A and B are shown apart, each in its own frame.
Chain A
Amino acid sequence: MRPKIRVDHLSFYYGDKQALFDISMEIRERQITALIGPSGCGKSTFLRCLNRMNDTIPGTRLEGRVLLDGQDVYAPGTDVVDLRRRVGMVFQRPNPFPQSIFDNVAFGPRVLGLCRGRDELEEVVERSLRDVRLWDEVKDNLKQDALSLSLGQQQRLCIARVIAVQPEVILMDEPCSALDPIVTLGIEELMKRLREQYTIVIVTHNMQQAARVSDWTGFFWLGRLVEMGPTGDVFTRPQQKLTEDYITGRAG
């Protein structure tokens, strides 16, 4: 099977400081890939390489290739805006815009001109909110300020906002770290459902979460990808001593 994303010998630098070292990995379509590793090992940096969000940080440099459906996203002439539509991102802290619930979900379709007319837009908003199981909770208050929602609702809103533009890949950087355990389980359920349609890459500090939701797990250590494989294998039969120590809590 051809991977959805293929990363080839990727190295990344913040100025003179190298944050990622020669990383190669394949990300399968319609699977959940979890990235784990201690704080500061470059998981977020790696994730942000996949949709070129690191472009917004001045003084950064990248070597290697990131192929999305076989196309190098760093090739000259790449449409970054289109790339980010295809590869959406959910952040660690829920970050809805300080606008109404409706406007939040409608943001993407509007700026990208995806909908013709108000009816179609309303349809997309409803479908997206239903997909994240938020519709029933907010359908009567779509005009309400998104910031008045609870954090868990805000995070689901952010996921709905991404889904509204029909991306192919969804990157999630510790999407549950600001949420309580119950809400976290809800989001995990959501991810498992979304997996039928989308390719998901999730960064998490929570080992159980990685084990629960993901099909593939990659273990990062000091900017290097130490081990990557099916989640069951990585957690039960890690190939590397370092991975085993980290998973069992002896390192990290």
Chain B
Amino acid sequence: MHPRRWTEFAIESLIRVLGLSSIGFVLLIFLFLLKEGLPAFLQVPPENLLGTRWYPTFDLFGTLPLILGSLLVTATAISIALPLGVATAVFVREVAPGWAREVLKPMIEVLAGIPSVVLGFFGMTVLAPLVRETLDAPTGLTAFTGGLVLAYMALPTIISVAEDALDAVPKSYRDAGLAMGATQWQTIWRVVVPAARSGILTAVMLGMGRAIGETMAVMMVTGNAARMPTTIDSLFRPVRTMTATIAAEMGEVARGSTHYHVLFGIGIILFVITFVLNLVAAGAIFKKRRRGGLR
């Protein structure tokens, strides 16, 4: 064969091997998760697993408080980050003068790079005392504090992706709105934001994905009490998330024990939840695109 053909062949093979192996690794991790986690669902009866009490030392593996804990913290984070993020994106893209935009955009992207442990530390030393004092609560390490920190972590992603989505809305839509006699705000809220809907949804899903899988910061600020967040004031009480549970307990369980398998089982549940969220988001975006609306 010609030498040129050889190098072509070598490069192509290399790329193929690299590509396949990264898919392979993901698959292996997934299989490992299943192998270690599935026994939990066999060894522990469902009424125990779906119970409301998490005391592994007494063989009580109720995951409900952990799942609800994760959902509560994530929902809090999103309900703070979504309006704030979209409003900021609108401000940066639609209102701020050109130079401010040039400064703000990279600054927001830098925020995304702050390590979560730093944010956790900040949450512990600044936010938690603040929450405790303002609410006059016994502790500042609450679901709400966790939500605040997570909202902060999700914000840069949401702002930056939503801003891109707004930016992709053609100028012709804005012109049409303004030429109809709509004010700038009416044009933004009734034309531009709806036109960017799918991009904004993606932004929120990405932010949410980051929030629900986040561990370190959450562990540091939520107080980690595995109580059912079913009372009205649960938002301002300590809570424990799935991620924090795995991270905190994995180090001290005996390999192969029931507790060990249950921790992996929680990993599977977390995986399924994230997967479904992504699916819903992708479905919404796909539907939109098929209607020919994604521009």
Contacts and interface: CB of A to CB of B under 8 A. Distances in A.
Q: Tell me if chain B binds chain A.
A: yes
Interface in B184-209: 186, 190-191, 194-195
B292 A147 contact: yes
A53 B180 CA distance: 11
Contact of A107 (B172, B182, B292): B182
Given A91-B172, A95-B172, A97-B191, A53 B293 contact: no
Contacts of B191: 97, 107
Given A88-B180, A107-B180, A95 B291 contact: no
A84 B178 contact: yes
A65 interface: no
B173 interface: yes
Contact of A95 (B173, B182, B183, B293): B173
Contact of A91 (B176, B186, B190, B295): B176
A84 B292 contact: no
Nearest to A82: B181
Interface string A37-67: 0000000000000010100101000000000
Interface string A61-88: 0000000000000000000011111001
A70 B179 CA distance: 21
B186 A95 contact: no
Contact of A145 (B98, B174, B293): B293
B181 A111 contact: yes
B172 A81 contact: no
Nearest to A99: B194
A147 B289 CA distance: 11
Interface stretch (A2-10, A121-129, A158-166, A222-230): A158-166
B283 interface: no
B56 interface: no
A95 B170 contact: yes
A145 B291 contact: yes
B176 A98 contact: no
A56 B292 contact: no
Contacts of B293: 98, 145, 147
Given A147-B293, A165-B181, A111 B173 contact: no
Given A53-B179, A84-B179, A98-B195, A93 B172 contact: yes
A108 interface: yes
Interface residues of B, number: 23
A112 interface: yes
A206 interface: no
A89 interface: yes
Contact of B181 (A98, A108, A148): A108
B133 interface: no
B195 A97 contact: yes
Given A97-B191, A145-B291, A145-B293, A81 B175 contact: no
B109 to A, nearest CB: 25
A15 to B, nearest CB: 14
Contacts of B177: 97, 107
B291 A111 contact: no
Nearest to B180: A108
Interface string B163-174: 000000010111
Of listed A53, A89, A93, A98, residue having the most chain B CB within 10 A: A98
A147 B295 CA distance: 10
B167 to A, nearest CB: 16
Contacts of B291: 145, 147-148
A38 to B, nearest CB: 23
Given A98-B194, A111-B181, A111-B186, A158 B295 contact: no
Interface string A95-111: 11111000000011011
A162 B180 contact: yes
A95 B175 CA distance: 9
Interface in A143-189: 145, 147-148, 158, 161-162, 165
Interface string A116-139: 000000000000000000000000
A56 B178 contact: yes
Contacts of B195: 97-98
Nearest to A89: B179
5 contacts: A56-B174, A84-B179, A89-B175, A97-B177, A145-B292
Interface of A: 51, 53, 56, 58, 81-85, 88-89, 91, 93, 95-99, 107-108, 110-112, 145, 147-148, 158, 161-162, 165
Interface of B: 98, 170, 172-183, 186, 190-191, 194-195, 291-293, 295
- Name the 7 nearest CB pairs between A and B, nearest first: A85-B181, A95-B172, A89-B179, A84-B181, A111-B182, A98-B293, A111-B186
